[in-house]
Amino acid sequence: MFNLRFPALCALAALGASGAAPALAHGAIRHEQEACVLKVGPDFMYFTGYQPSLSHRKFCEDIPATGDTIFILDYAQNEMRDMKTDFRIVRNVSEEQEEQEKLDRITVAYLPPRVYPTGTLNLEYDFKESGDYVGIVTVDGPNGEHWVSRFPFSVGRLYSARTPYYLLTAAVLLALLALFWGKDSEPAPARKR
């Protein structure tokens, strides 16, 4: 009979290896301990989103539902307090070149450039439609610095955002089931007479 232990162990090893590398699927945003970090040029900002009418939980990637949403960006470096920053949310289009050509038409929310001496800026927007969006942070400094950071996210597509995790969990469970099923289906050793 076919031994399923080896394929099950290979599946578990592959799943473990795939989860070991940090993912940057959401552009310049990454998780560091309990904070969401947005890389902007050589510096970074802390990024948090809230939907106060739905939950007190914060998010830093996909937004669970449509509705009132608050985005908060905090500078991590003091040098950025002297720079002008703007924050724009646009509908996601297929290419960055198309995004630049249609920027005004696809923009859904915008904070114009200004200096934030406190190091914190926030944007409130009421998402009426679920879909794919891109956050764009632009920082311009007094010495000619021009840094742009983009991060794609989805709104109201919580299940599609979690689908990889559900699939990963299902694959692990199937691999474990195959491992134990394969162990039980092995023939018993023959007795010597």
At 130-157, the pLDDT tens digits run 999 999 999 999 999 999 999 888 898 7
pLDDT at 187: 62
More confident residue, 97 or 70: 70
| Run of H or E including 9 | helix 5-20
Task: Please give the model's pTM, rounded to 2 decimal places.
Answer: 0.64
pLDDT at 75: 94
117 confidence band (pLDDT: 50, 70, 90)? very high
Calculate Rg over the CA atoms of the chain.
23
Q: How far is CA 42 from CA 45, 79, 147, in A?
A: 11, 11, 9
Q: What are the phi and psi torsion angles at 174 (to 5°)?
A: -65, -40
At 17-66, the pLDDT tens digits run 444 333 334 455 555 555 689 999 999 999 888 888 887 777 777 888 88
Residue 142 contacts residue 130 (beta carbons within 8 Å): no
Residue 178 contacts residue 7 (beta carbons within 8 Å): yes
pLDDT at 164: 62
Cα 5 from Cα 180, distance rounded (Å): 8
Cα 32 from Cα 54, distance rounded (Å): 25
Cα 98 from Cα 136, distance rounded (Å): 15
User: What domains are defined for the chain?
Assistant: 25-156 (2.60.40.2550)
More confident residue, 158 or 13: 158
Cα 71 from Cα 60, distance rounded (Å): 9
Strand pairing partners for 127? 67
